[in-house]
Amino acid sequence: MLDVANLTVDFRVDTGWIRSVDDVSFSLDAGATLGIVGESGSGKSVTALSLLRLHNDRATRLSGRVSFDGQDLLALPERRMRELRGRDIAMIFQDPMHSLNPVLTIGEQIGETLRIHQGLDRKAAQVAAANLLDMVRIPDATRRVTDYPHQLSGGMRQRVMIAMAIACRPRLLIADEPTTALDVTVQAQILELLRDLREEIGMSVILISHDLGLVAEFAERVIVMYAGELVEDAPARTIFEAPAHPYSEGLLRAIPSADVDTHRLYAIPGRIPDPGNRPPGCNFEPRCSLAQATCAASPPPLDPIAPEHRIRCPIRSAAKEVAE
C-alpha cells in the first residue's frame, strides 16, 4: 500500500542545502504496523512529514518516490494532496500541548476534518465529534466538545489529536512520538488506545519514536534510522532479540529494563553528527565500537543479511556470512 523508494530530503540553510534524509526506502502493507526508531536528529520525523508533504515548500527539496496505492505522493498536485491528508493518511504529533489551536473548541477542531472531507454541516460535525471523543475514551464526551484545549490535560489532548486523526477512518495513521511528552502511565493508555483503534478501523500505523522498546512492542516491523540514513530494517522480534547493526544494539542497551538491576543506564558514547558535517565513511563510525579502517573510507551499502532483514554495516554483514 505504501512504498517509499529512495526518499531524500534537503533543507535550505544560509550556506546552501543540507541533507536531512538520505535515500530511504521501505514499504508497508495495508493493515500493517511499522516502527521508525532513532535519536533526535536521525531524520525520522522529517521522513514522516515528507510522506504528507508538510514541510515548508520553499525551504525543502524532496526527491524519490512515495507511492500510496500506486500514486506518487511527491508528484501529486497540492490540491489532490490536500484531499488525501486527513482522509486517507492522518498524522498525530509529539506535543499535544501545542498541536491544538488554542482559540477553537476541540469539537470544532475534530469536526473540521469531517466538514472538509465528508461535507458535514456544523451540527452534524459536532455530533460526530462527540462520538469520536467517545471512541477515544474521553468521558462525558457530549459536554467536552465545547471545551477549549487549555481545559484538558496532556493525555486528554493527545486523545483529541487521535480523535481528529481517525475522524475519516484513514488507511494510514502516522504517529510521531505520540507519547513522548506524556507521563508514563498515560503513555501506556495512549498506546493501548492506538492499538485498539488500529484493529477497529483496520488502518496501517507508522509509529515513530526514539524508544526502541516501545516501538518493538507495538510494531510488526521496525526500521532504525541514523543521521538521515536507514541503518537497519527488520521484523520487530529480530530487532528486539538479535539486532545486527551496532547502533541498534546501542539503542537496545539504552532501554532501562525492570528485571535487570542496573544502576547505571547505558548511553551510546558521542553524538549524532551535524547534517552539514557528516563523516566521509559510515556515519556511525566515530561512535562505533566495531569500527575498522575501512569504515571511515566510504559510506557502507545497505545489505540484506537474511530474508526481511537489511543492515548498513559491512563488518556485521561479513561476520554473518562467515558464520553461515
Partner 1 sequence: MARLIAFRIAQAIPVMFVVAVLTFLLMHLLPGDPATIIAGDMADQAAIAQVRHDLGLDRPVAMQLWLWVANLAQGDFGTSLMLNQPVAEAVLERLPVTGSLAVVAFLITIPTGIVLGVIAAVWRDTWADTAVMLLALIGVSVPNFWIAILSVILFSVTLGWFPSSGYVPLQDDFGRWLASLIQPAVVLALFQIGYLARMTRSAMLDVLDQDYIRTARAKGVSITITVAKHAFRNTLMQVVTVSGYILSLLIGGSVVIEQIFAMPGIGRLLVQAIMARDYPVVQGTMLMLGFAFVFINILIDLIYAYVDPRVRYD
Partner 2 sequence: MTDRLASPAEPQPVLSPGATRRRILMRRLWRHRSFRIGGGIVLAIALLALAAPLLTSTEPTQMNLRARFAPPSAEYLFGADNFGRDIFTRVLYGARISLWIGCASALLAAAGGAMVGMVSAWFRPLDGVIMRIMDALLAFPAILLAIGINAALGPQVTSVIIALAFAYIPRMARIVRAAALVVRELDYVDAARVSGAGGARIIFRHILPNCMAPLLVSVTFVFAYAILAEAALSFLGIGPPPPDPSWGNIIAEGRDYSVQAWWIMLFPGLAISFSALGINLLGDGLRDVLDPRLKVEA
Q: Which residues of this protein are in contact with partner 1, per CB under 8 A? A: 52, 54, 82-87, 90-91, 93, 95, 98-104, 112-113, 116-117, 148, 150-151, 161, 164
Judged by CB under 8 A, the stretch of 7-15, 50-58, 135-143, 184-192 that binds partner 2 is: 7-15
Residue 13 touches which of partner 2, partner 1, none (Cβ within 5-8 Å per kind) = partner 2
Which residue, chain included where needed, has cell 524532496?
62
Alpha helices in 93-228 (DSSP H): 106-118, 122-135, 141-144, 154-166, 184-201, 212-218
Three cell numbers, residue 84: 488525501
Q: Does residue 14 touch partner 2 according to CB under 8 A?
A: yes
Contact of residue 90 among partner 2, partner 1, none (CB under 5-8 Å per partner type): partner 1
Q: Pick what 95 binds: partner 1, partner 2, none; C-beta below 5 to 8 Å, kind-dependent.
A: partner 1
Q: Which residue has the cell 512504498?
A: 3
- Cα–Cα dist 101/112, whole Å: 12
- Under rule CB under 8 A, residue 15 binds partner 2: yes
Of positions 6, 12, 13, 298, contacts partner 2 by CB under 8 A = 13
For the bound state, the minimum distance from the C-beta of residue 278 to partner 2, rounded and expressed in Å, comes to 15
Q: Which residues contact 144 (CB under 8 A, 6 or more apart)?
A: 106, 107, 130, 133, 138, 152
Output 9 or 268, the one with its CB closest to partner 1: 9
Q: Which is nearer to partner 2, 14 or 261 (CB)?
A: 14
CA quadruple 60, 65, 68, 71: dihedral sign: positive
> Of 255, 192, 186, 252, nearest to 222 (Cα)?
252
Residues that bind partner 2 (CB under 8 A): 13-15
